[in-house]
Amino acid sequence: MKKHHISRFRSSRFIVLTALCFMVHHVTAARPAWATAHSDEFGLGIMLGDPSGISGRLNLGSKAALDFGLAFSVNSDVTFLVDYLFQFPHAFHSTSQFISQITPYLGIGGVLALGTQTTLYRAGFRYSAGSATFGVRIPVGLEWRPSTPSLGIFLELAPGLFILPSTQGLIQGDIGIRFYF
């Protein structure tokens, strides 16, 4: 029975990774007409906080982006994040070059957490290895993008709600850096 539980966990990871790859491919293949083409539209880096891991962003123009992450939570979960972001470039009008390079954003997205421990306690609920929880999140943050080098430093807070298998609150926060290509 334990082997069945592990194989179910592996198959759910495969399904999630396949879905994420499909979503990223679909977004990059079908770019909206308003999306501007420039050399630094894809960023990849790290995020530290809860969860900590790999962070990526695909800019879909100056006012929209697709943000994603593969991370490990402090609860010993493997966490997958995908968010659609609304960016507000030039929101801070200032004579300071630093302030004018900060872009606030707001988004809506999903989070999938897969338990990796034998017993996992989150908000009073008990989960076993291989269990999955799904929820929605609303990321709010700031990203500083200097002219050179082509990088972005961000700070984000994402409240949300786990929906399946049970309803419970969620709060995530990160600071990170991405290098844009």
Cβ count near 98 (within 10 Å):
10
Architecture of domain 2-30+38-180: Beta Barrel (2.40)
Per-residue model confidence (pLDDT) at position 130: 66
pLDDT tens, 14-33? 555 555 555 545 444 444 43
Q: Which two tokens stand for residue 106?
A: 């707001």
φ and ψ of 100, to 5 deg: -70, -15
Ranges of each domain in the chain = 2-30+38-180
Q: What is the pTM of this model?
A: 0.71
Handedness of CA 76, 77, 78, 82 (dihedral sign): negative
pLDDT tens, 55-111? 999 999 889 999 999 998 666 678 899 999 999 998 888 888 888 899 999 999 999
pLDDT tens, 39-54? 468 999 999 998 899 9
Q: Do the Cβ atoms of 85 and 106 come closer than 8 Å?
A: yes
Angle at 114 between CA 112 and CA 116, to 5 degrees: 155
